[in-house]
């Protein structure tokens, strides 16, 4: 057998089954992929640990061909030799251990290319009084995904080193609700940027897509991997999921979006796809200052209809007073406005799913851009 995958309820996972699957009598010379997920009580136990001792995979032996391992819902022994040659590891709670044990285990996994951790970072990880031998080096890791408290996510990212990280997924639950949440968000985005700078220096991002709700945000960037063929390669997935109360400020606001923009160098970003919650109201300055400054070479904006109103509101501010628009449009020679005086000086396309006729003020603003020597079109996406 080369591939094994099983999902079983905890009350059905008898000791004799665990012995035959994981015990000393388990002979697995051909095993390449192993997945065992145990559901029921304890599967979503948050920070609680299951009762009983940790199970040692394969009776303390390492299957010679094992490359992919996925486990969840049961406790494993982090010092198992089965981790030695893995290229892909997926571990879910309840599997928190001591900080040094956690670091030692990850440090032995030098062949990892994919790592998925769900509530596995030690709760005291990253504390000042923790005397842990760092840093964890991942020479081949290209995909990292973990789901945990924001402070633990930030602490782990600060103590690891990558050489070819291209995909990063962080699902961070915010526990900093007593006044220091801005610092926590900024720290998380800052450490994400530090790890991705090298990759984007080699492959500058040309397209950024941001989709957010009131409590979560996802951002994906595309990079030009081959200038001769123009082929795009997905090089980053940065996902931040935040949990919080209904009252107070929205978790995903202009400031948080601005931090996310800073993760990706904007010098080569040519198009931005942005979808915001329908109840989101971003001040026009967010578009004229934050977005325009983050992506100075932006040529295309792909937005939902609600977001389009904010973008157009920003462009209206650049346009002469409404009473002068008609007069400007009637001038044969047009009116020239320096691109340096406008936001999005390179913008050529606005694409939005308009469900109603174009408002007159939108038409006036677009015409004003055109007679200013900056052609811009509002286009509906293909259905």
- pLDDT tens figures, 118-160: 998 988 887 655 566 678 999 999 899 988 888 889 999 998 9
Q: Are residues 213 and 75 in the same domain?
A: no
Q: Are residues 25 and 138 in the same domain?
A: no
Quickly list DSSP for 218-256: EEEEEEEEETTTTEEEEEEEEEEE----SSSS-SS-HHH
Q: What is the pLDDT of residue 259?
A: 85
Q: What is the pLDDT of residue 54?
A: 67
Q: Are residues 165 and 264 in the same domain?
A: yes
Q: Are residues 174 and 125 in the same domain?
A: yes
Rounded Cα distance between 176 and 10, Å, is 34
Q: Are residues 215 and 131 in the same domain?
A: yes
Domain stops at, among 57, 81, 105: 81
Could you give the angle at the alpha carbon of 209 between the alpha carbons of 165 and 360, nearest 5°?
165
| Mean of per-residue pLDDT scores for the chain | 77
Domain stops at, among 269, 284, 319: 269
Work out the percent of the chain whose per-residue pLDDT is above 90: 13
* 279 domain residue, yes or no: no
Structural domain for 24, as ranges: 1-81
Q: What is the pLDDT of residue 346?
A: 86
Q: What is the pLDDT of residue 113?
A: 95
Q: What is the pLDDT of residue 333?
A: 40
Q: What is the 8-class DSSP label of residue 44?
A: T
Q: What is the pLDDT of residue 87?
A: 95
Q: Are residues 234 and 334 in the same domain?
A: no
Mean pLDDT comparison of 243-252, 291-300, 324-333, highest-scoring range: 291-300
Q: Are residues 238 and 196 in the same domain?
A: yes
* 149 domain residue, yes or no: yes
* 6 domain residue, yes or no: yes
Residue 229 predicted with pLDDT over 70? no
User: 15-68, pLDDT tens digit by residue?
Assistant: 555 555 666 666 778 889 999 888 865 444 455 454 555 666 777 777 889 999
* 114 domain residue, yes or no: yes
Q: Are residues 122 and 170 in the same domain?
A: yes
* 219 domain residue, yes or no: yes
Q: Are residues 64 and 122 in the same domain?
A: no
Residue 342 predicted with pLDDT over 70? no
Residue 11: CB atoms within 10 A of its CB come to: 10
CB-neighbour burial class of residue 226 (10 A; exposed 0-12, middle 13-18, buried 19+): exposed
* 276 domain residue, yes or no: no
Q: Are residues 206 and 310 in the same domain?
A: no
User: 62-103, pLDDT tens digit by residue?
Assistant: 788 999 999 888 777 888 888 888 999 999 877 888 888 888
Q: Are residues 214 and 100 in the same domain?
A: yes
Q: Are residues 206 and 103 in the same domain?
A: yes
Q: What is the pLDDT of residue 330?
A: 39
Domain stops at, among 81, 105, 121: 81
Q: What is the pLDDT of residue 140?
A: 94
Task: Name 54's Cβ contacts closer than 8 Å, sequence gap at least 6.
Answer: 75, 76, 77, 78
Residue 114 predicted with pLDDT over 90? yes
């Amino acid at each position: 057998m080369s591939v094994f995958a099983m999902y079983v309820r905890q009350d059905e996972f008898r000791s004799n089954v665990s012995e035959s699957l994981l015990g000393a009598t388990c002979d697995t010379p051909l095993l390449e992929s192993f997945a065992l997920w145990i559901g029921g009580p304890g599967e979503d136990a948050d920070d609680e640990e299951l009762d009983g001792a940790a199970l040692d995979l394969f009776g303390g032996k390492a299957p010679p061909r094992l490359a992919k391992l996925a486990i969840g819902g049961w406790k494993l022994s982090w010092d198992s030799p089965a981790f030695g040659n893995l290229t892909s590891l997926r571990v879910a709670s309840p599997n928190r251990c001591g900080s040094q044990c956690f670091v030692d285990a990850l440090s032995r996994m030098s062949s990892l290319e994919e790592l998925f951790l769900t509530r596995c970072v030690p709760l005291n990880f990253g504390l000042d009084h923790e005397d842990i031998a760092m840093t964890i080096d991942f020479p081949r890791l290209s995909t990292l995904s973990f789901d945990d408290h924001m402070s633990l996510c930030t602490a782990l990212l600060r103590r690891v080193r990558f050489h070819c990280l291209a995909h990063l997924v962080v699902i961070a639950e915010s526990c900093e609700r007593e006044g220091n949440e801005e610092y926590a968000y900024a720290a998380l985005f800052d450490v994400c940027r530090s790890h991705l700078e090298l990759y984007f220096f080699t492959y500058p991002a040309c397209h950024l897509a941001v989709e957010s709700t009131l409590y979560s945000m996802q951002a994906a960037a595309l990079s030009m991997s081959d200038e001769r063929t123009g082929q795009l390669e997905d090089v980053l997935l940065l996902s931040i999921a935040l949990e919080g109360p209904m009252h107070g400020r929205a978790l995903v606001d202009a400031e948080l979006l601005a931090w996310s923009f800073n993760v990706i160098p904007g010098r080569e970003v040519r198009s931005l796809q942005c979808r915001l919650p329908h109840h989101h109201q971003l001040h026009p300055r967010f578009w004229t200052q934050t977005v325009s400054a983050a992506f100075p070479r932006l040529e295309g904006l792909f937005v939902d209809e609600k977001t389009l109103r904010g973008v157009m509101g920003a462009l209206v501010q650049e346009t002469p007073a409404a009473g002068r628009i008609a007069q400007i449009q009637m001038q044969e020679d047009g009116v020239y406005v320096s691109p340096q005086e406008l936001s999005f000086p390179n913008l050529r396309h606005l694409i939005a799913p308009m469900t109603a006729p174009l408002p007159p003020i939108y038409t006036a603003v677009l015409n004003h851009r055109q007679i200013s020597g900056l052609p811009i079109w509002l286009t509906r996406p293909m259905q």
